[in-house]
Amino acid sequence: MLGPGEYAADETQGITRVEDLPKPKLVRRSRNYKRRPCPVCHQSAYRLRTVKRTLHDLGDSLSGHPRDLVVMYSQHRCPRCNCYFNAEMDDLALPKSHYTHRVVSMAVRLVVEDGLPYRPASWHLWRDHRVFVPWATIQNWVEATGEKSRSRDKNRLHR
């Protein structure tokens, strides 16, 4: 056992092969429905197929393993207006994102509140939360929230 304050190197330091990194713990989530209301016209729409999406979540810092959500979700086609749509999972992640909201807000907090530059923020997320996010992705997230708060400011000014 290490005493308090003793230095313990990150166990992944020096690992150069991806296969040697700790395997992610897979957590299943379902957003798989037989029918969903169409987001355009509210007509009930049957499931067309079920597909799978993997989202990287904040990992388990005790075991040192990353954590991935495997989301099975349904795709639907509206019989009335013919539009295609997915079962909603806005509570988990933004559309097309590979990361959960938890990862995005943690990354943005590290930069905006703690003042970490992008590269150290990326390293921190891996070392302490076992999620690998390229620093350029973090930059995109921070800039997107910056735009959001700027437009909020604008709205305040015009009110």
Which residues of the shown chain bind Zn ion in the complex (CB under 5 A)? Answer: 38, 40-41, 43, 78, 80-81
Task: Name which of 40 and 51 has its Cβ closer to Zn ion.
Answer: 40
End-to-end CA, the chain: 59
Minimum Å gap between C-beta 77 and Zn ion is: 9
Task: Name which of 80 and 154 has its Cβ closer to Zn ion.
Answer: 80
Task: Name which of 78 and 131 has its Cβ closer to Zn ion.
Answer: 78
Minimum Å gap between C-beta 35 and Zn ion is: 12
Task: Evaluate whether 31 touches 22 at the Cβ level (below 8 Å).
Answer: no
H helices of 6-75, in order, are none
Task: Name which of 86 and 139 has its Cβ closer to Zn ion.
Answer: 86
Q: How far apart are CA 11 and CA 22, in angstroms?
A: 10
| Size of the chain in residues | 159
Q: How far apart are CA 75 and CA 105, in angstroms?
A: 28
Task: Name which of 84 and 147 has its Cβ closer to Zn ion.
Answer: 84
Minimum Å gap between C-beta 39 and Zn ion is: 8
Minimum Å gap between C-beta 41 and Zn ion is: 3
Q: For the residues of 2-58, what is the DSSP string, one character each?
A: PPTT-----TTTT---GGGSPPPEEEEEEE--SEEE-TTT--EEEEEEEEEEEEEEE
Minimum Å gap between C-beta 76 and Zn ion is: 9
